[in-house]
Amino acid sequence: MSRYISEALRKLVIERALYSCEYCRIHSENSFFTFHIEHIVSLKHGGKTIPENLAFACPICNLNKGTDIATFVEDVEDVVRFFHPRNDNWDEHFEIQQSGLISHKTLIGASTVKTLNLNHPDSIIERREMIRLKLL
């Protein structure tokens, strides 16, 4: 399938995500950067450019994820897949603390927090400020 994402498909993905990153939950209006439509399973791994395989992602999450689909988590021998915005419920895998930290509830959450670097110090500070301003 083509890499091209039509305007109609782009709009569907953005509206479905309520204009927020489907990984870290930051709203696109609260970012200086343009958000991406990303392939959950990359084209390189056989993913298709269809609604079920597309997510709205902030550039930080998308660039950290890259074409990866899984990683190793500490003390677990097998590879652990990432959170899949179409198949998984965010609240079952993550929680945003008042401190701005995103804590994981599952191994899937842990693998995603690790690889997307969701708790980079700058991201925690940004989320804490958004929580204070009631933007998150």
Instruction: Name the residue ranges covered by the structural domains of the chain.
Output: 7-132
pTM of the predicted protein model: 0.93
pLDDT score at 3: 65
pLDDT score at 136: 84
Mapped onto helix, strand or coil, the DSSP state of residue 81 is: strand
Closest CA to 36 of 70, 66, 8, 71: 66
pLDDT score at 1: 44
Closest CA to 61 of 78, 81, 40, 46: 40
The DSSP code sequence of 14-69 is HHHTTTB-TTT--BGGG-SS--EEEESS-GGGT--SSGGGEEEE-HHHHHHHTT--
Radius of gyration of the chain (CA): 15
pLDDT score at 70: 95
One digit per residue, pLDDT tens: the chain, 136 residues? Answer: 446 899 999 999 999 999 999 999 999 999 889 999 999 999 999 999 999 999 999 999 999 999 999 999 988 889 999 999 999 999 999 999 999 999 999 999 999 999 999 999 999 999 999 999 988 8
